[in-house]
Structure 1
């Protein structure tokens, strides 16, 4: 890896799914993970969950994301940052008619392993995903599932 490669990351347009890790612990000495989410109009995010090991922040670049953080439900528009502390239940969804683009930061790094494991599971999947298998993958990284995603209704 050249010095430039260690500092510049470009999104792989062919990457499946709404979340892409831009730089994880291997590039940040384990201190932080950077990523982005692109959610089409009227699409759910993850089920309600908590992180036991890391804090997150989501900065909305375009569109409007609906969040549930703890016992609060609210919308965050372009230019707004949402703090998602560890041990606090949270989820999000794009309930609007426009796509959403958001930038995420997770500290410390390490959660990128969960996304890699999920991607590998989905790549070999035939049929519907097994919710227990998805929970199992998350649990290995300290992510605990608590409930369903935000309803699109």
Structure 2
């Protein structure tokens, strides 16, 4: 997308930290900093906080969006499709569409990172659905997991 006007316009969107919704799970918290509805679908930006030894998703890929990870604090184990690395504050991993990846916190300390999705799929719906399943104690069948993942462009490897 390009801007075609000849003069700039007042169009910025301000979202104070208190207005960013959060999704809390037992060992992780996602703060939905910039969802697609705020960024006009161009990207989604989440702050992901993990307690020590918090697992993350198993290896997977997405067909319709890229995902980037920027470690803010602690040590995050990142998988680039081939190798697990210990990423620390300032480290960055870009995963294009179709790229296999995963993450988790294997350390004894909390860790946090920013996750950028581009363009902005409604990933908050995926994370909300996962949180609701966990909170309810509901167990999904393999077919139900496959359907949930397919609906959210999440293909497990």
Please say whether Structure 1 and Structure 2 have the same fold, judged by a TM-score greater than 0.5.
yes
CA distance in structure 2 between the aligned counterparts of 1:23 and 1:117, rounded to whole angstroms: 19
| Rounded Cα–Cα distance in structure 1 between residues aligned with 2:94 and 2:22 | 29
1:7 match: 14
Task: Name which structure has the greater RCO, CA cutoff 8 Å, separation 6+.
Answer: 1
Structure 1: 4+ residue segments shifted above 6 A: none
1:25 aligns with 2:36: yes
Find out whether 1:79 has 2:79 as its counterpart. no
Larger radius of gyration: 2
3-state SS of the aligned residue for 2:144?
helix
Q: TM-score, length-normalised on structure 1?
A: 0.80
- Asked if 1:118 is matched to 2:126, the reply is no
Deviation for aligned residue 1:59: 0.7
Normalised by the length of structure 2, the TM-score is 0.78
RMSD: 2.5
**Cα deviations across residues 33-56 of structure 1 (Å, max 9, x unaligned)?**
010111111121011110111111
Q: Distance in 1 between matches of 2:93 and 2:79?
A: 11
Unaligned runs of 5+ in 2: 1-9
The answer as to whether partners of 2:21 and 2:33 remain within 8 angstroms in 1 is no
Distance 1:50 1:42 in 2: 23
Structure-2 residue corresponding to 1:41: 52
Q: From the superposition, tell whether residues 20 and 107 of structure 1 become closer, same or farther in structure 2 (CA, over 3 Å).
A: same
- CA positional deviation for 1:128: 4.5
Q: C-alpha displacement at 1:117, in angstroms? A: 3.1
